[in-house]
Amino acid sequence: MGPSHALSGASVWLAGSWAANHFAGYEQSPLAVGVGAVVCAGAALLPDLDLSGKVTRNQGGATVARTFGVFSLFAAEVIEKVSLGIYSASRMPRDPRRTNGHRTFTHTLVFAGGIGWGTALLCARYGKWAVLGVMFLMAGLALRGLFDRWAERAGWLIVTLTSALVALLTATHLPGGRGYPMLGVAVGVGCVVHLFGDMITRSGVPLLWPIPLGARTWRMIGVPDGIAIRAGGPGEIFVLRGLFTMIAALAVVAMFAPGVLQDIDLDAWAGG
């Protein structure tokens, strides 16, 4: 699911930037749009950092947990255990007992909003230094998701060095002001995109925690099994990824090279 999550994050951000420009006159530089798309793609993988592996043997965990080698595997272990703690402490009698924290706290709107808001605050307060840190983490996740085969072949050290370079370039070139809080928005939006992605696959997510629904604080919300998409199945890979890529490409062209779209003679296509 990694590449689909990352692709959906990037395309939602690009389409949203186009819409904000087209309908509300909110203009962004190509750099700002690109940075937002990378952050949103990375954040669309962030909730799965709760899938822990075996740190001591350096294996297991979600693809994202291996982004920064054993360091992110360790982080995933901690995030999983903390999530399990939050689950156990806030569950109601009808919520099942769990021994693993995957798809709990990091898969809620509260988490998405909190981490987005926290990122925005951090960037507003610490400026370039915060941008450096946020970009480093998000670029790593985005590379791992968007270029999964390359990342697998290159190994975590190359991914880490590339992320550091992207972070450095962003911190030195992205102007402050509204560009910085926008990173927080991109992180929050990316997490929400992940939640919707998980909801259309079978298991659903505890989206509305801690609001009790049917005497459960951890009610799983998702689409019915009949129309759910099988994770990794041909439906997901060909249809969804193709669709997201097309949306992303169209949004970029519409924003930065609108002439291209006008030049395509639709009548000629229709008339053959």
Per DSSP, 108 falls in state S
Q: What is the dihedral of CA 131, 134, 137, 140, to 10 degrees?
A: -50
Q: Which stretch binds Zn ion (CB under 5 A): 41-49, 69-77, 233-241, 243-251?
A: 41-49
Nearer Cβ to Zn ion, position 105 or 156?
A: 105
Determine if 48 is a binding residue for Zn ion (CB under 5 A). Answer: yes
Nearer Cβ to Zn ion, position 48 or 236?
A: 48
Q: Which stretch binds Zn ion (CB under 5 A): 48-56, 78-86, 113-121, 152-160?
A: 48-56
Taking CB under 5 A as the criterion, which residues in 188-227 touch Zn ion?
Answer: 198
Nearer Cβ to Zn ion, position 92 or 200?
A: 200
Taking CB under 5 A as the criterion, which residues in 118-177 touch Zn ion?
Answer: none
Least distance in Å: CB of 48 to Zn ion? 4
Least distance in Å: CB of 198 to Zn ion? 4
Per DSSP, 91 falls in state -
Least distance in Å: CB of 125 to Zn ion? 29
Nearer Cβ to Zn ion, position 195 or 254?
A: 195
Nearer Cβ to Zn ion, position 81 or 128?
A: 81
Residues 6+ apart with CB under 8 A from 32: 174, 179, 182
Alpha-carbon distance of 256 to 195, in angstroms, equals 30
Task: Find where tokens 């909730």 sit.
Answer: 47
105-116 burial, b if ≥16 CB within 10 A, otherwise e? bbbbbebbeebb
Nearer Cβ to Zn ion, position 36 or 206?
A: 206
Structural contact between residues 174 and 32, judged by C-beta atoms closer than 8 angstroms: yes
> How many residues interact with Zn ion (rule CB under 5 A)?
3
Residue 242: is it exposed, middle or buried by C-beta count within 10 angstroms (0-12/13-18/19+)? exposed
Determine if 50 is a binding residue for Zn ion (CB under 5 A). Answer: no
First to last CA, the chain: 39
Taking CB under 5 A as the criterion, which residues in 18-37 touch Zn ion?
Answer: none
Least distance in Å: CB of 34 to Zn ion? 25
Determine if 236 is a binding residue for Zn ion (CB under 5 A). Answer: no
Nearer Cβ to Zn ion, position 116 or 179?
A: 116
- 166 Cα distance to chain centroid: 17
Q: Please, where are the H alpha helices in the chain?
A: 2-24, 30-43, 70-90, 109-126, 128-146, 148-154, 156-173, 179-199, 234, 241-256, 258-263, 266-271
Least distance in Å: CB of 103 to Zn ion? 6
Least distance in Å: CB of 188 to Zn ion? 16
Q: Which stretch binds Zn ion (CB under 5 A): 15-23, 47-55, 64-72, 175-183?
A: 47-55
Backbone angles phi, psi at 219, to 5 degrees: -65, 125
Least distance in Å: CB of 10 to Zn ion? 17
Q: Which positions lie near Zn ion, rule CB under 5 A?
A: 47-48, 198
